[in-house]
């Protein structure tokens, strides 16, 4: 991966427009920047374009216009495989473990593009240390794990290639408070190890409490952004969620 630009931006979406098929645009000029070791949280009502933004960033969806920059390099339209090699991982919304494979197979698949077995084994040991549940349930079928455990397997898989930036789509969705806490602790751990995180969360206040930067999306663009804790206290956030007119 190339050196970071002066701004320290690991990932930037610049004026991105995107949508599905011939349907109307979901993203309408979205711009977001994530710096190394920073958690940027996207919040907003359903349909605001949060998950779509992550799909554009990871190459699952090609934008109609705008640019995606990874460490200053224009990666717009590159495949997920190429972006993975450049240091970008994406954990999908809901459960995305390979249910009928073991935890071991799931985690090792995180290094599918790596042929060097020694390096792969080294990374396996690292993620096992980071995620004790993964080590404990190594031989279990992933589909038999609880929701919280499956999410940790997905995190471990996403960290196999030492990404520079991780995209997390609603990681606490469907989890009980205890497992939600575990998930947020692990996001914090990623940040402390220098990984940039672009987080999408419905649990807005909780996410903004731990994030560095918050962006409130509505109708496919950022309406409010700023330091996350300040944003959490901003009354405009509540208005947007309650269906009020977007603030300028």
Which residues of this protein are in contact with another protein, per CB under 8 A?
A: 58, 60, 79-81, 84-85, 89-90, 92, 96-101, 105, 109-110, 112-113, 141, 143, 157
Closer Cβ to another protein, 108 or 128, answer by number: 108
Nearer of residues 131 and 222 to another protein, judged by Cβ: 131
Closest separation in Å from C-beta 165 to another protein: 13
Least distance to another protein, CB of residue 239, Å: 34
CB of 170 to another protein, least distance (A): 14
- Structural element, H or E, at residue 88: strand 88-91
Cβ 158 to another protein shortest distance, Å: 8
Nearer to another protein, 110 or 214 (CB): 110
Q: What is the dihedral sign for C-alpha 98, 183, 198, 1?
A: negative
Cα separation of 52 and 47, whole Å? Answer: 9
| Cβ distance to another protein smaller for residue 33 or 150 | 150
Given a contact cutoff of 8 angstroms between Cβ atoms, the answer to whether 225 and 217 are in contact is: no
* Nearest approach, Cβ of residue 244 and another protein (Å): 34
Shortest separation between residue 13's beta carbon and another protein, angstroms? 18
Nearer to another protein, 133 or 160 (CB): 160
| Distance from C-alpha of 87 to C-alpha of 93, rounded to nearest angstrom | 20
Estimate to the nearest angstrom the gap between the alpha carbon of 159 and the chain centroid: 12
Residue ranges of the alpha helices (H) in the chain? Answer: 50-58, 80-85, 103-109, 117-130, 132-136, 147-158, 177-192, 204-210, 228-232, 235-241
**Contacts of residue 117, Cβ cutoff 8 Å, sequence gap at least 6:** none
Strand ranges (DSSP E) for 9-84?
9-19, 25-35, 39-43, 65-70, 73-74
Residue among 19 and 29 whose Cβ is closer to another protein = 19
């Amino acid at each position: 991966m190339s050196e970071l630009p002066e701004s320290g931006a690991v990932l930037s979406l610049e004026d991105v427009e995107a949508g599905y098929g011939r349907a109307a645009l979901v993203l309408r000029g979205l711009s977001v920047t994530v710096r190394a070791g920073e958690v940027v949280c996207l919040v907003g009502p359903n349909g605001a374009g949060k998950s779509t933004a992550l799909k554009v960033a990871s190459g699952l969806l090609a934008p109609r216009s705008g640019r995606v920059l990874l460490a200053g390099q224009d990666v717009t339209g590159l495949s997920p495989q190429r972006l993975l090699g450049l240091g970008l991982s994406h954990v999908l919304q809901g459960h995305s473990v390979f249910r009928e494979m073991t935890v071991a197979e799931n985690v090792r698949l995180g290094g599918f593009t790596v042929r060097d077995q020694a390096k792969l084994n080294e990374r396996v040991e690292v993620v096992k240390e980071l995620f004790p549940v993964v080590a404990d349930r190594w031989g279990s079928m992933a589909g038999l794990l609880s929701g919280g455990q499956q999410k940790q397997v997905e995190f471990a898989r996403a960290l196999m290639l030492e990404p520079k930036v991780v995209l997390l789509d609603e990681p606490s969705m469907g989890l009980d408070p205890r497992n939600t806490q575990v998930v947020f602790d692990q996001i914090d751990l990623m940040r402390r190890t220098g990984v940039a995180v672009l987080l999408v969360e419905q649990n807005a206040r909780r996410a903004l409490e731990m994030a560095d930067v918050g962006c409130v999306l509505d109708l496919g663009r950022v309406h409010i952004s700023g330091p996350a804790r300040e944003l959490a206290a901003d009354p405009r956030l509540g208005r947007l969620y309650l269906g009020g007119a977007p603030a300028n």
